């Protein structure tokens, strides 16, 4: 009887050691990196939570953590690796009713925020379809798993953990609404961004506003002394008339946008634009600085905005050809359209860059390969060409 009691005490002591080492190793993993960090066997030993040379103890502790879903075994760059899981997430495995549900939930859990296709789960687990459907039904009822629609795979039945939000890769990010590209939303964002950049990178001639941080004009040593300009009253005869004509010409060009002078340091950055968008009512979606930069990249590709390097390595943006742009904002609706026989508001955007080469219809002609003088289609009978010349 004594030997049996002693054996039981040894087992209890061993279990206590395993529990102590298990908790110590789990806490050390959490303190050493995020839940995405991979630990090799040697790195786990180096944490000092388990005796350095006791590989059997390490094996036992790892098995315990794996059984409790606190540690995940996976393939690392140099072989078998491990990463830790939050206790709250590990507790969800206890809600699985049987082994099949736990297996299905584990595969969906590993897929993360990208989700996973139902057929991929079946192939990976080699599970009968009826068993899979029954397991999935219970997981959905327990709110552990939820189906969702993926922009990347619109025809596939996708599943994701109920506690996760689908990634931008799956949903298309803020540019998609109900799995459809929201072109009107994107156009409105472009308008707001362009108007903000225009307001920060230009100033209106004759407005009396002097752009900030304009470099001061210097006087070169040895240059001729600066003299005051004569007024119109001081100039008589033809000189006075010429001056008046010059003033009239300047008045005609009064309402025009001018670029900021060299050395200007207040061009808006992606961060500035993101902060402005977060304060507007145009969207309830919080756009990151990366999202804003994607929108700006489209404006740059359309030759409407260009990047400017400022002091300190900062990158700002300004509009292209400011003197050619309208004083009114892109987001402002004005004008009329005769489409449909009635007048309606139309969106006014920035003036596009164009010339004879970009306007000529030959570049996008559907029968360009057949076009030649004297042929069935040619410049002399081209309906597109005649329309273009008649503008």
pTM: 0.49
Closest CA to 200 of 86, 301, 329, 113: 329
User: CATH number of the domain at 93-171, please?
Assistant: 1.10.10.10
- Read off the DSSP letter of residue 384: H
185-212+254-353 has the same fold as 93-171: yes
d(CA 4, CA 78): 45
Q: With cut-offs at 50, 70 and 90, classify the pLDDT of residue 318.
A: very high
The sign of the torsion formed by the CA atoms of 325, 330, 336, 341 equals positive
Instruction: State the pLDDT at residue 353.
Output: 59
The arithmetic mean of pLDDT across residues 36-64, rounded, is 81
The arithmetic mean of pLDDT across residues 255-261, rounded, is 83
Instruction: State the pLDDT at residue 216.
Output: 47
Structure tokens at 348: 């006014």
d(CA 107, CA 96): 13
Looking at mean pLDDT, say which of 142-156, 191-205, 219-233 comes out highest. 191-205
Instruction: State the pLDDT at residue 177.
Output: 64
Hey, is 1 helix, strand or coil? coil
d(CA 102, CA 254): 74
d(CA 76, CA 81): 5
Q: With cut-offs at 50, 70 and 90, classify the pLDDT of residue 219.
A: very low
Which runs of E-coded beta strand occur in 31-171? 71-76, 79-84, 116-117, 145-148, 158-161
Contact yes or no for 368/374 (Cβ under 8 A): no
Q: With cut-offs at 50, 70 and 90, classify the pLDDT of residue 388.
A: confident
Hey, is 204 helix, strand or coil? strand
Structure tokens at 287: 């756009």
According to DSSP H, which parts of 94-204 are helical? 99-111, 118-125, 129-141, 168-171, 183-201
d(CA 70, CA 21): 14
25 Cβ neighbours under 8 A, 6+ residues apart: 44, 47, 49, 50, 61, 65
215 Cβ neighbours under 8 A, 6+ residues apart: 261, 262, 263
d(CA 335, CA 338): 10
Burial of 173 (0-12, 13-18, 19+ CB in 10 A): middle
Q: With cut-offs at 50, 70 and 90, classify the pLDDT of residue 307.
A: very high
Residue 232 pLDDT > 60: no
- What backbone torsions phi and psi does residue 340 show, to the nearest 5 degrees? 80, 5
Hey, is 305 helix, strand or coil? strand
User: What confidence tens digit (pLDDT) does each residue in 165-198 have?
Assistant: 776 666 666 666 666 677 788 888 888 899 899 9
First to last CA, the chain: 110
Residue ranges per domain, the chain?
A: 16-85, 93-171, 185-212+254-353, 354-391
Query: Rounded to 5, what percent of the chain is helix, strand, coil?
Result: 50, 15, 40
> Which listed CATH number (2.60.40, 1.10.10, 3.30.160, 3.40.390) goes with 185-212+254-353?
1.10.10
> Which listed CATH number (2.10.109.10, 3.40.50.720, 3.30.70.1140, 1.10.10.10) goes with 16-85?
1.10.10.10
């Amino acid at each position: 009887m004594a030997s049996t009691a002693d054996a039981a005490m040894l087992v209890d002591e061993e279990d206590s050691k395993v529990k102590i080492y298990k908790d110590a190793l789990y806490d050390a993993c959490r303190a050493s990196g995020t839940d995405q960090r991979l630990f090799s066997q040697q790195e786990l030993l180096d944490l000092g939570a388990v005796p350095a040379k006791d590989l059997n103890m390490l094996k036992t502790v790892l098995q315990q953590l794996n059984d409790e879903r606190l540690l995940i075994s996976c393939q690392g760059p140099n072989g078998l690796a491990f990463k830790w899981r939050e206790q709250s997430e590990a507790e969800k495995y206890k809600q699985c009713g049987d082994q099949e549900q736990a297996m299905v939930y584990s595969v969906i859990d590993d897929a993360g925020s990208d989700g996973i296709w139902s057929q991929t789960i079946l192939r990976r687990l080699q599970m009968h379809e009826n068993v899979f459907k029954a397991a999935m039904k219970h997981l959905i009822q327990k709110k552990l798993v939820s189906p969702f629609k993926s922009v990347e795979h619109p025809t596939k039945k996708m599943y994701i953990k109920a506690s996760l939000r689908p990634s931008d890769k799956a949903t298309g990010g803020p540019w998609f609404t109900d799995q459809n590209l929201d072109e009107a939303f994107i156009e409105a964002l472009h308008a707001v961004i362009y108007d903000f950049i225009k307001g920060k990178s230009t100033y209106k001639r004759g407005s009396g506003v002097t752009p900030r941080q304009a470099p001061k004009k210097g006087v070169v040593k040895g240059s001729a002394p600066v003299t005051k300009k004569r007024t119109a009253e001081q100039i008589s005869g033809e000189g006075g008339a010429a001056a008046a004509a010059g003033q009239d010409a300047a008045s005609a060009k009064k309402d025009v946008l001018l670029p900021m002078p060299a050395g200007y340091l207040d061009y808006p950055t992606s961060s500035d634009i993101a902060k402005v968008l977060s304060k507007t009512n145009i969207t309830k979606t919080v756009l990151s600085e990366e999202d804003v930069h994607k929108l700006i990249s489209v404006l740059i590709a359309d030759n409407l905005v260009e990047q400017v390097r400022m002091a300190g390595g900062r990158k700002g943006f300004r509009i292209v050809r400011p003197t050619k742009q309208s004083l009114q904002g892109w987001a402002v609706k004005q004008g009329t359209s005769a489409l449909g026989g009635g007048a309606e508001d139309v969106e006014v955007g920035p003036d596009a860059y164009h010339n004879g080469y970009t306007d000529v219809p030959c570049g996008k002609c559907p029968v360009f390969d057949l076009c030649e003088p004297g042929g069935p289609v040619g410049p002399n009978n081209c309906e597109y060409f005649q329309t273009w010349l008649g503008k």
